[in-house]
């Protein structure tokens, strides 16, 4: 079975398991989606949602966070990992949106990636989940599963993204990346399966006996 054949099987199985793919990060608008994605670095979506549910009802615009200032933002998000760095990014990002984008979240990768604290993955999530633009954000789950499923050599997340985009139709990317994330969290976890236990791994590699090593993101 080659990678193209595996990709078709994977798409079919994921479609059966996850016909619907709600956005994991709770948000009120494009700006709060952007902030939540930024906060989710090295942190679970559940933790982010637990924190932001007490923030977004009151603070949900760039102007709100600029007015709050870094120290108050720190207090609001202190239960999230590396909160001081994230608070600084949220503050500076909010300020830049007001100064350069009239308080609106820009609609291009280039403009998004110029915002403080926003890298390619964060920009991809916003473009995909916020604007509906075809993108394939690669997080640790996708990077791990793509290797276990033989869809990439896993050299790095950049290569993984390129390989996945070649294998899957463009109109499937937005839903597919969420399906893989959900599957990785439940069935093909980092410290479980190891490429030899879950349904997709055993379907793609029925004769695989030993756990496979993967390159970390």
Catalytic residue among 67, 95, 121, 175: 121
Whether residue 95 lies in the annotated active site: no
CA distance 108 to 124: 10
DSSP string, the chain: --HHHHHHHHHHHHHHH-S----SS--SSHHHHHHHHHHTTTS-HHHHHHHHTTTTTT--SHHHHHHH-HHHHHHHHTTSTTHHHHHHHHHHHHHHHHHHHTTPPPSSHHHHTTSTT--HHHHHHIIIIIT--------HHHHHHHHHTTS---S-HHHHHHHHHHHS-GGGHHHHHHHHHHHHHHTS-TTTTTTSSSHHHHHH-TT--SPPP----
Active-site pick, 53, 71, 139, 162: 139
Q: Is 139 a catalytic residue?
A: yes
Question: Which residues are known to be catalytic?
Answer: 121, 139
């Amino acid at each position: 079975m080659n990678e193209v054949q595996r990709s078709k099987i994977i798409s079919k199985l994921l479609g059966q398991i996850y016909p619907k793919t709600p956005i994991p990060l709770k948000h009120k608008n494009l700006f709060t989606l952007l902030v939540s994605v930024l906060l989710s670095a090295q942190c679970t979506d559940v933790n982010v949602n637990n924190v932001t549910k007490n923030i977004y009802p009151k603070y949900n615009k760039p102007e709100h966070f600029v007015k709050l200032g870094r120290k108050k933002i720190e207090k609001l998000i202190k239960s999230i990992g590396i909160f001081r760095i994230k608070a600084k990014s949220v503050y500076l990002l909010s300020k830049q949106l007001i100064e350069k984008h009239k308080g609106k979240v820009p609609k291009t990768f280039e403009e998004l990636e110029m915002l403080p604290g926003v890298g390619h993955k964060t920009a991809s999530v916003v473009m995909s989940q916020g604007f509906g633009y075809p993108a394939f954000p690669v997080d640790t789950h996708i990077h791990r599963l793509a290797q276990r499923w033989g869809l990439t050599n896993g050299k790095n997340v950049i290569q993984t993204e390129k390989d996945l985009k070649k294998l899957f139709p463009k109109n499937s990317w937005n839903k597919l990346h969420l399906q893989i994330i959900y599957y990785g969290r439940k069935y093909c976890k980092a410290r479980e399966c190891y490429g030899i236990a879950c349904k997709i791994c055993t379907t793609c590699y029925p004769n695989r006996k030993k756990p496979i090593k993967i390159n970390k993101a």
